[in-house]
Structure 1
Amino acid sequence: MNKFFKNVLGIVLVSTMSLSLMAGCGNSKDKSNVSKKGGEVTIAVTSFADTLEPTQQYFSWVITRYGVGETLVRFNEKGGIEPCLAESFQSSEDGKTWTFKIRKGVKFSNGDDMTPDMVKKSLERTFKLSKRAVSFFELASMEVEGQNLKITTKEPVAILPGSLADPLFLIVDTNANKDSIAMKGPICTGPYAVESFKPTDSCVVVKNKNYWNGDVPLDKVTFKCIEDQTTRSMALQTGEADIAYNLKAENLSEFKDTDKYNIQKLQSLRATFAFMNQKGPLNDLKLRQALIRGLDKQTYCNVLLEGGATAGKAPVPPTLDFGFNELKDENSYNPEGAKALLKEAGYKDIDGDSFVETPDGKPLQLNFVIYTSRKELNVYAQAAQVSLKKIGLNVKLNTVSYETLLDTRDSGKFDLLIWNVLVANTGDPEKYLRENWYSTSASNQTGYNNAEVDKLLNQLSKEFDKDSRKKLIIQIQQLIMNDASTVFFGYETTYLFSSKRVKGVNMYPNDYYWLTKDITLAK
């Protein structure tokens, strides 16, 4: 391993977590042999997909979470990168070429061998069909040399291995299911394969008998979409479900019986925020500043969410070592200051309805788009609506499905739009920052444009020194905060509730792996 590669490894990991290179995909902490082979499990989930085409929106996450798709590398339970479909990887001295040694003996679920050529075709398909792919890195070329796949980029990319751990780059058999991937799912290499799929309702996966990395204990797993949090909790309590995702702190009291349930807790790498669209009335900096200052985020997190989140102020949560405590928040909660800002900028209530009009006397109503499948997001939005009314801002909540929310974000037809996202999906915040706040990013539909942010993000993409990257990320965050571009509500604590009927259920910081080969029925 060359010196340059060792340096790179240090920065493609989340800084609060240690590196661990292991032999294969998925490693359970539970080493007990008390388990049962075969059987079926039901997992209650939210934010379902309306297609299994991995290159559309973020639906590749569903395919990976459901144990179907795998990537060349993956993250372990400490956030470190480990080999998966590639058994090793290293970089050239100039950082532009990465060589991945493709693992031998891997088969797709249909029995076809996974070869370096097929891996290349799969990645080419992703770049061809996904608008998001180029936001990870700009591909110059890919070449197969024996068992190796060489990926060359136009510029050095420090986070390339972590980028390829993103579910978007899962490896599919490009010769199979060409015209039916959307409903039948792609043919992949994971421990499970899709048996049936009903959009927004359920997905059934079955054991991949050709799985390359050990025995797959379960015969069948059903993912049941249950959007309502109370109903999802009841499903676990009644035995309808064995595992339930996206339950919250308020559900803890329902699962106190440790003889029946396991509860896992993780200070996650997720942030909840609201985009503010600067192509409409929120192009006024003082209006954005006043809006943020009118929000009591501490109370939202500590009281309304019962301590289930940490109050937000910056793009990157304090769980990662990127300067959270040293960042200066000029727009912390200050409702009187918010009112003064509005008055100074010419916003006043002309018609006596308790809501301000614009400086030119027009009605002002802000359209806040939220989605239904995560209850805490509605808590933030509803609380914000009440808080902002107190300073004279009229906010209308527009509740849509998650799939519609994605389309709405892409269209830019909103004033505010709720978002909950993993901030280190490559093991580092660079991708997250570039995707949401780089001026020409396809995901930036708010009109946010700061030349200095763009400049620093460009420097960051080529910077391989860990300490220098940290300084750049802190600078970028401070600029985004100073611009009052985004409402950072909070950083959630993630819980995973499961029945003692199952074992081997583990949480991962990157939230990609819900069903692994380690999950079994307990005897």
Structure 2
Amino acid sequence: MILFVLAGCTSATEGQQSDNPKELELLFNFAARSLDPNVDSSYVPLRAGITETLVHLNDDTLKLEPWLAESWESEDGQEWIIQLKKGVTFQNGNPMDGKAVKASLERSIKDNVAIKNALRIATIEADGLQLTIKTISPFPEFPSELVHPNTSIIDVTEPDFINKPEGTGPFAVSSFIPGTAVDLVRYDGYWDGVAKLEAARFSFNEDANARSLALESGNADIVFRPEVQNLEILEALPGIKVESTSTFRVHQMTMNLERETMKDIHVRKAVDVLVNRQSIAETILKGHAEVAEGPFPSTFSFAPDYPEKLTGLEYAKDLLAQGGYEIKEGVMEKQGKPLVLTLLTYSARADLPLIAQVFQSDAKQLGIAVDIQQIEVPEEYMAANRDWDLATYSNLTAPRGDAGYYLNATYHPHGALNFSGADDAALTALIDELNKTVGQEARSAIAEEIALYVDEQVYNSFILHPNTLVAYNADKVENWVTSKSEYYMLTHTLDVK
């Protein structure tokens, strides 16, 4: 409460706090140690309503919508004219104009290699509220990349990006305790109408059970991804509402293709058939998931019809036999060398360690030793280390309603999420063709071809599409929307009774 009162004295809020301020606390499942919106992988600045991007994704229609950009157009897919909204200011009162946006985008490109590779910007020119952006080559889907949270627009003249970025969103940073919480205060100069909440706290706890207990005790008003095993308990509490929404996410078994063991397609296929997707969805996720055949949920136009997937120990044993493996004295080995797999997992998504344990147990029945290692930040570890074979990983595959994001990031040699080390000339050529193609029907056809190729080569094993689970106090919270993209959380319309 002291933090909220102090927040009312900041320059972000023009009016005075009321005696009973409208405020709430959202408890998130990833701990942010930085609020730098251009490099932070937890996307807290966007989710907490501190920053905004040029383009917005409509979760219902999967269509791109203007946000800080009023419009965009291109005649050749390479030179883009972007008109910015009038009257938008940063939380420090400075105007958001072409010069400021240019500086912000150039800063994100400079400091984030993944964004540099995703945007492929050659030059940016600013004239008043107009930007002229040229990409390195024709890039018809360029606007969809401007939805990415790491392209959030900030005032780069304010240097404390880690603790207090100055964005254009409805809430300004009051204080930030890395790994614990960010306290927010309403920005009364917000361009799209003053937020209904006067203050909010976006806090972090990677323990799913602790998040559930926080809601039960009233220490949190909204909890992102509560403990699945406790959902019935939460649903039985007076006033508590649990929402389970299909999303664009996939839980997958990422394979390190640079490891000698995983270079063998027979081993990769054996790993894939060892994963009992239906059982995992029913027991670990309690039915709050769709069994995955590939990276994209079946509702997308670019999700192909896959060949029937086999599951079971005998199929895995046969595949390994084709690769020269055999069981001797209860140990799966090849030329006297036991098959041992190092499997990474992380606790911020509570179901992933459980999936790892189930896989470890099933593999043990075939004499395969699986060494599970817990890591904290999967993106950082997998990018910097190659001492692992497999990793349970969760990824948004189509957060902009198009297949290009995931396929480029995951399978292109320069992809930001290419932790497998995939470098397949045929696959890269297909992705490059996709990047030049205009029209959703034509793009979907190429995306299907890529997805089928990835499935044939078993470059990753796709387990399930988990629902987004959110529980909140419906007696207090109003206008909460569980976003499929998981990008938009604390909005200017969110309210309390």
d(CA) in 2 for partners of 1:323, 1:172: 36
- Per the TM alignment, residue 106 of structure 1 is displaced from its structure 2 partner at its CA by 0.9
Residue 13 of structure 2 is matched in structure 1 by none
Residue 294 of structure 1 is matched in structure 2 by 274
Moved more, 482-491 or 387-396: 387-396
Moved more, 49-58 or 198-207: 49-58
d(CA) in 2 for partners of 1:297, 1:481: 16
Tell whether the 8 Å contact from 2:297 to 2:303 is kept in structure 1 after alignment: no
d(CA) in 2 for partners of 1:355, 1:307: 34
Residue 6 of structure 2 is matched in structure 1 by none
Deviations 1:1-52 (A, max 9, x none): xxxxxxxxxxxxxxxxxxxxxxxxxxxxxxxxxxx98322111111122212
Mapped pair 1:393 → 2:371? no
Q: Which runs of 5+ in 2 are unaligned?
A: 1-18
Residue 23 of structure 1 is matched in structure 2 by none
Residue 34 of structure 2 is matched in structure 1 by 51
- Per the TM alignment, residue 259 of structure 1 is displaced from its structure 2 partner at its CA by 5.3
Using the size of structure 2 for normalisation, the TM-score is: 0.91
Tell whether the 8 Å contact from 1:202 to 1:224 is kept in structure 2 after alignment: yes
Moved over 4 A (4+): none
Residue 447 of structure 2 is matched in structure 1 by 473
d(CA) in 2 for partners of 1:76, 1:518: 16
Residue correspondence of structure 1 range 376-387 to structure 2 within 5 A: 376-387=351-362
d(CA) in 2 for partners of 1:251, 1:95: 49
- Per the TM alignment, residue 341 of structure 1 is displaced from its structure 2 partner at its CA by 1.9
d(CA) in 2 for partners of 1:103, 1:334: 56
d(CA) in 2 for partners of 1:479, 1:469: 15
d(CA) in 1 for partners of 2:457, 2:186: 50
SS in 2 for 1:397: strand
Moved more, 487-496 or 445-454: 445-454
Deviations 1:184-237 (A, max 9, x none): 231111011112222222221111232121112222211221222122111111
Residue 368 of structure 1 is matched in structure 2 by 343
d(CA) in 2 for partners of 1:383, 1:437: 27
Tell whether the 8 Å contact from 1:249 to 1:307 is kept in structure 2 after alignment: no
Mapped pair 1:462 → 2:436? yes
Deviations 1:65-124 (A, max 9, x none): 011010111112313221111112222x21112211111111111111111110111001
Match for residue 348 of structure 1 among 320, 326, 329: 326
Paired letter, 1:241 = A
Q: Percent identity?
A: 29
Paired letter, 2:25 = T
- Per the TM alignment, residue 149 of structure 1 is displaced from its structure 2 partner at its CA by 0.8
Residue 193 of structure 2 is matched in structure 1 by 214
Mapped pair 1:181 → 2:161? yes
Paired letter, 2:53 = T
Residue 445 of structure 1 is matched in structure 2 by 419
| Structural RMSD (CA) | 1.8
Residues 355, 193 of structure 1: alpha-carbon distance in 2 compared, 3 angstrom cutoff: farther
Mapped pair 1:272 → 2:264? no
Tell whether the 8 Å contact from 2:302 to 2:403 is kept in structure 1 after alignment: no
Using the size of structure 1 for normalisation, the TM-score is: 0.87
Paired letter, 1:133 = I
Deviations 1:442-477 (A, max 9, x none): 432323232221111111001112211111011100
d(CA) in 2 for partners of 1:37, 1:63: 26
Q: Which runs of 5+ in 1 are unaligned?
A: 1-35
Residue 483 of structure 1 is matched in structure 2 by 457
Moved more, 476-485 or 386-395: 386-395
Tell whether the 8 Å contact from 1:37 to 1:217 is kept in structure 2 after alignment: no
d(CA) in 1 for partners of 2:402, 2:104: 25
Aligned residues: 475
Moved more, 198-207 or 63-72: 198-207
Paired letter, 1:151 = I
Residue correspondence of structure 1 range 143-292 to structure 2 within 5 A: 143-176=125-158, 178=159, 180-182=160-162, 184-247=163-226, 249-257=228-236, 260-280=239-259, 281-292=261-272
Match for residue 499 of structure 1 among 459, 473, 489: 473
d(CA) in 1 for partners of 2:237, 2:139: 46
Paired letter, 2:367 = G
SS in 2 for 1:132: helix
Moved more, 121-130 or 300-309: 300-309
Residues 250, 322 of structure 1: alpha-carbon distance in 2 compared, 3 angstrom cutoff: farther
Residue 68 of structure 1 is matched in structure 2 by 50
d(CA) in 1 for partners of 2:128, 2:198: 36
SS in 1 for 2:252: strand
Match for residue 484 of structure 2 among 497, 506, 509: 509
